[in-house]
Amino acid sequence: MIIDKDSYGSLALVYSLSALAVVLLFVFVRIPWLTWPLTASLLWFCIWQTRFFSVPDRKCSGTDNLVSSVADGRVVIAEKVFESEVLGKEALQVSVYMNFFDFHANFWPVNGEVTEWKYCPGKHMFAYKPKSSLENEHTWVKLRTASGKEIMFKQIAGGFARRIVCHADPGLKVQAGKQLGIIKFGSRIDILLPLDAKIKVKPGDLVRACESVIAEL
């Protein structure tokens, strides 16, 4: 497990502010029953943030035809929808909600090629709400597999997320299981699949990025 390279600055800020807070506690407060519990809490917060911005080492289940989960989290949607923003047609949607305790690194779900992608600024309502897919800050990426199948996914910022990182460019060849980016703090991934795909998960299921197969194309 390594630290996400796009999160070095965020972690440095967390460590610096926590260290400053500890110094201020011991210099100005100096009340043992208050200083030590607060110091322990700050240490726990630093450990949690380090894990939060880490990239887990996983064995990948995604292939040209097997779609692995882009993120860790809980499945909140697995159904047919009308995708109006990009596709303009019906598709199968699987949405994975990431809470504060999940790894937030994102990974390519299949082997293929990026055909389109776009960053869309927006609101920061809680990502479990259905309309967050259109109204929140997000990116969308379209992929074509070697067999010609097309899928799309969205990285959706949540109520506290203020930055989405997505390393995508049209023409980029991608490999399932390789990191594509990260969403900082609570957020959601929507994966849009062809209508003939076979969804392998249901709402309420816990999935792990790379390892959990969510659909077969």
Active site residue ranges: 187
Neighbours of 214 (CB within 10 A): 25
Q: Going along the chain, which residue ranges are E strands? A: 2-3, 54-55, 66-68, 73-83, 89-98, 105-107, 112-120, 138-144, 150-157, 164-166, 173-174, 179-183, 187-193, 198-199, 206-207, 213-216
Q: Which of 74, 106, 155, 117 is nearest to 4 (CA)?
A: 106
- DSSP for residue 64: S
Strands 105-107 and 164-166, by their bridges, are unpaired
